[in-house]
Amino acid sequence: MNPALLLLTDSRLPAGGHAHSGGTEQAIATGAVHDLASLAAFLRGRLHTSGHVAAALAAAACTLSATRSPDTLWDLLDAEADARTASPAQRDASRTQGRLLLRVARRLWPSPALDGLAQAVPNPHHPIALGAAAHAAGASPEDAALAAAYHAITGSATAAVRLLGLDPVAVHGLLADLAPDLAATASMADMGAHSTEPPGASGTPLADRSWAELPARSAPALDLLAERHAGAKVRLFVS
């Protein structure tokens, strides 16, 4: 594993990740999450739906960053992320985090790919920015997928500790239990990203396969929680 991955997954990185609960705040407000057992189910559900999609997108973005001229394709990949994010509130949260991460990554790991992404899509979805940043930091597409999958559950886990007063050691035990699932998700996401090609990547006008084949697992409950959270009068987290 590339050491830079530790920086990309650190909640202390000044990219705003600590301000997002990934739906946990609203899940707690509705009673869906109220103890360790319900939090474990929530985290597992996030990982295998939106987390899996984010991992595949991050791997694809990392792969695209290594191509000869990705600049003209960033908006197409970002559109695939948009199509897989049904909730407007979640789109806003993803783009906010993507913009902040891209800003930080360009300072830490100056890269033509990151500059091209910033020019093509100033407010990219978070997985797209994460994949491009991973490449700039010398990480692999599978590393990028692992970082995205990890990000999908750790923010929610730490938010639950703060909101419910759960034992932080017990909550991190839940994350440790999910380690095999994280590895499997990253591996599958990387394989999915490499089994597809962006339009024109093979030198032909359109490749036989496209990013449309990337995973598109949905999580309607998370979408509903995000929209309810966006309309809440009082909230501690952005999402």
> In 3D, which of 230, 239, 73, 43 has the Cα closest to residue 152?
43
Q: Is the pLDDT of residue 118 over 50?
A: yes
Residue with tokens 């599978």: 142
* DSSP 8-state code for residue 48: I
3-state secondary structure of 140: coil
What are the sequence ranges of the domains in the chain? 21-200+209-230
For the four alpha carbons of 88, 89, 92 and 97, in that order, the dihedral sign comes to negative
pLDDT at residue 200 above 80? no
Question: What is the model's pLDDT at position 111?
Answer: 93
Among the residue ranges 4-13, 21-30, 37-46, 60-69, the one predicted with the least confidence is 4-13
**Banded model confidence at residue 146, pLDDT cuts 50, 70, 90:** very high
Mean pLDDT (whole number) for 190-216:
58
CATH fold of 21-200+209-230: Urease accessory protein UreF (1.10.4190)
pLDDT per residue over 170-184, tens digit each? 999 999 999 999 999
**Lookup: tokens for 99:** 């913009």
SS3 85: coil
Q: What is the mean pLDDT of the chain?
A: 87
- What average pLDDT score do residues 197-206 get? 46
Q: What pLDDT, on the 0 to 100 scale, is given for residue 203?
A: 43
Least confident of 18-32, 96-110, 117-131: 18-32
Query: What value, to the nearest 5°, has the Cα angle with vertex 207 and ends 84 and 212?
Result: 10
Q: Which two tokens stand for residue 230?
A: 């966006």
Res. 236 pLDDT band, cuts 50 70 90: confident
Q: What is the mean pLDDT of residues 184-199?
A: 69
Taking residues 234-238, what's their average pLDDT? 83
Q: Could you tell me the pLDDT band of residue 207, with boundaries at 50, 70 and 90?
A: very low
Exposed, middle or buried: residue 1 (CB in 10 Å: 0-12, 13-18, 19+)?
exposed
Question: Does the pLDDT at position 112 exceed 50?
Answer: yes
What is the pLDDT confidence band of residue 205, given thresholds at 50, 70 and 90? very low
